[in-house]
Amino acid sequence: MTTAREDVVAIDDLSVAFATDAGTIAAVQGVSLSVAAGEVLAVVGESGSGKTVTARSILGLLPETATTRGAVLLRSRDGAEQHDVVTLSRRQLGEVRGRDAAMVFQEPSTALNPVYPVGWQIAEGLRAHGRISRKEARARAIDVLRRVGIPDPEERVDHYPHQFSGGQKQRIVIAQALVLDPGVIIADEPTTALDVTVQAEILDLLRRCRDEFGAAIVLITHNMGVVADLADRVAVMYQGRVVEQADVRTLFSAPREPYTQQLLASVPRLGEGRARAEERASRRPAGWTDAAPVVEARDLRIVYPGRLRRPDFVAVDGVSFAIRPGEVLGLVGESGSGKTTIGRAIAGLTKVTGGSLQVLGAEMNGVREKAFRPVRRRIGFVFQDPASSFNPLLTIAEAVAEPLVVNDRADDPRAARGRVDELLEAVQLPRSFGDRFPHELSGGQRQRASLARSLALDPELLIADEPTSALDVSVQARVLELFAELQRELGFACLFISHDLAVVDLLADRIAVLHRGRLVEEGTGAEVLGAPGHPYTQRLLASLPVPDPEEQARRRATWQALAQVEGVLPAS
Q: What angle do CA 204, 206, 207 make, to 5 degrees?
A: 65
Is pLDDT at 1 greater than 90 in this prediction? no
Instruction: Provide mean pLDDT across the span 99-126.
Output: 89
pLDDT at 569: 55
Q: What is the pLDDT of residue 423?
A: 93
Is the pLDDT confidence value at 481 over 50?
yes
- The per-residue pLDDT for 249 is 95
Tell which wins on pLDDT, 478 or 234.
234
Mean predicted lDDT score pLDDT of the chain: 88
Long-range pairs, 125-133, Cβ under 8 A, ≥24: 125/98, 125/176, 125/179, 125/180, 126/179, 126/180, 128/94, 128/98, 129/95, 129/98, 129/99, 129/180
pLDDT at 129 over 70: yes
Residue 83 contacts residue 58 (beta carbons within 8 Å): no
Distance of CA 238 to the CA centre of its chain: 21
d(CA 557, CA 202): 15
Torsion (CA) 280, 281, 284, 288 in degrees, nearest 10: 140
Residue range 318-322: mean pLDDT, rounded:
96
Q: How many CB atoms lie within 10 A of CB 416?
A: 22
pLDDT on residue 156: 93
Residue-wise pLDDT for 130-174, tens only, equals 778 889 999 999 999 998 889 899 999 999 998 887 788 888 999
C-beta separation of 185 from 102 below 8 A:
yes
* Least reliable range by pLDDT among 100-109, 190-199, 481-490, 495-504: 190-199
Residue 560: CB atoms within 10 A of its CB come to: 16
Mean pLDDT of 369-375: 90
Vertex 153, ends 149 and 154: CA angle to 5°? Answer: 160
**How does pLDDT run across 252-274, given as a tens digit for each residue?**
999 999 999 988 988 888 777 77
Residues 497-517 as b or e (16 or more Cβ within 10 Å = b): bbbbbbbbbbbbbbbbbbbeb
Report the range of poorest mean pLDDT among 184-188, 210-214, 224-228, 236-240. 210-214
pLDDT > 70: percent of the chain: 98
Q: 210 pLDDT exceeds 70?
A: yes
Q: Is the pLDDT of residue 194 over 90?
A: no
- Asked whether the beta carbons of 357 and 344 are under 8 A apart, the reply is no
pLDDT at site 352:
95
Predicted confidence (pLDDT) at residue 400 exceeds the cutoff of 80: yes
CA 81 to CA 158: how far, in whole Å? 36
- What are the boundaries of each domain within the chain? 7-265, 273-540
Model pLDDT, residue 4: 47
For the domain 273-540, what is the CATH superfamily, name and number?
A: P-loop containing nucleotide triphosphate hydrolases (3.40.50.300)
Q: Which pLDDT belongs to residue 58?
A: 94
Widest distance between CA atoms in the chain: 77
Please name every residue paired with 356 in a beta bridge, in sequence order, or none if there are none: 298
The hierarchical CATH code for the domain 7-265 is 3.40.50.300
pTM, rounded to two decimals: 0.80
**228, 548 in Cβ contact below 8 A?**
yes
Same fold, 7-265 and 273-540: yes
Banded pLDDT at 396 (limits 50, 70, 90): very high
Answer whether 515's CB lies under 8 Å from 483's CB.
Answer: no
Task: Yes or no: say if 359 and 295 are a contact pair by the CB < 8 Å rule.
Answer: yes
